Amino acid sequence: MSMITDSRTLSAFVMLLTLPMMAIASESGYPLDEMEPDLHDKASLQRGAKTYLNYCMGCHSLQYQRYIRTADDLGIPHKLMLEHMIFDPDVRIGDLMENSMSIDNSRNWFGAAPPDLTLYTKLKGGPQYLYSYLRGFYEDSSRPFGVNNTVFENVGMPHVLVELQGSQRYVCSRVPKLTENGAKIRDHRTLQYVTEEKCGAELKAMGVNPLQHVEGTGTLTPEEYDQVVYDLSNFLYYTAEPIRLERQRIGVYVLLFLAFFYVFTYLLGREYTKEFH
Ligand code: HEC
């Protein structure tokens, strides 16, 4: 193998290893908020499903998922689901979770069609991206719905959870100026740290949230709102692969079986090759 192919293989390998790390920032370069989905937390998934059906289903379908599967996996009794979570009397529990908005209408109203969200957390940036997106709406009077989004600039979706979260403003802050090595700089006369103004993604990357909640707006506190969008992101993490927990459970048995089987294959192999030296 030549040197060139060698270094190419190596860099491809390194890229493959670092792929999960590269997904941390969104397309707009805005750092994402941390969230760790938990599929064992059935209560969280149930709350997420409820929020989804109340606030998102009008525009975004979940066309690869059935109501009955959601109810069974999340432990929601069918009757409860039909009475409190399905609003269209023609919809039966075995139906796919589709909606009736036509793509043409939505293009006219929003300038873009709301995508199906069943597989969303697998296709785009994971549940962390969705979580950051739902926390990322801020006031912007230049946009048709009066809001913009930190991770999805100029998004065509209104902030549908604004009654819960309230408004946010995108503000700049003064933060300590750092040297190239990351050390703070002190003014030798005043002994104060030297500061500089930072905005947006740069500010966020330093661990300071550039979004400020507007006092007196929204029915939930910021912590309660974070819980709502956590549950929602957790739920869409579930819909992207409903079999995930089962797959992991079976995977353990498969590996145990292979380990067990290996012993006998090895012994058999030794038996066969006993005569060759
Ligand atoms: C009033 C209709 C409407 C409602 C309700 C709505 N959305 Fe949207 N959503 C849209 C439209 C339209 C777009 C496409 C925007 C674009 O591409 O500019 C969109 C885009 C999105 C995207 C980004 C898709 C991408 O391309 O990356 C996500 C994520 C999303 N919506 C999640 C939600 C969630 C979660 C809810 C419920 C809390 C919700 N939406 C409720 C209309 C809606």
pLDDT in tens, 196-247: 888 888 888 888 889 999 989 999 999 999 999 999 999 999 999 999 999 9
pLDDT in tens, 8-58: 676 666 666 665 544 456 666 788 999 999 999 999 999 999 999 999 998
Residue 205 lies in a domain: no
Supply the mean pLDDT for the chain: 88
Phi (first) and psi of residue 46, to 5 degrees: -65, -45
Residue 39 lies in a domain: yes
CATH number for the domain spanning 237: value is: 1.10.760.10
Residue 47 lies in a domain: yes
pLDDT at res. 124: 85
**Any atom of ligand 1 within 6 Å of the Cβ of 119:** no
Q: Which one, of 74, 10, 82, lies nearest residue 46 by Cα?
A: 74
pLDDT in tens, 178-188: 888 888 888 88
Residue nearest to atom 28 of ligand 1 (CA): 130
**Any atom of ligand 1 within 6 Å of the Cβ of 62:** no
**Any atom of ligand 1 within 6 Å of the Cβ of 151:** no
pLDDT at res. 1: 42
Neighbours of 130 (CB within 10 A): 25
pLDDT at res. 130: 96
Residue 252 lies in a domain: no
How far is ligand 1, taken at its centre, from the CA of residue 160, in Å?
A: 9
pLDDT in tens, 78-133: 999 999 888 888 899 999 999 877 777 878 887 888 999 999 999 988 999 999 99
> pTM to 2 decimals?
0.83
Host domain of residue 114: 3-171+210-241
% of residues, the chain, pLDDT over 90: 61
Residue 275 lies in a domain: no
- Nearest-atom number in ligand 1 for the CA of 120 is 29
pLDDT in tens, 246-276: 999 999 999 999 999 999 999 999 999 988 7
Number of domains in the chain: 1
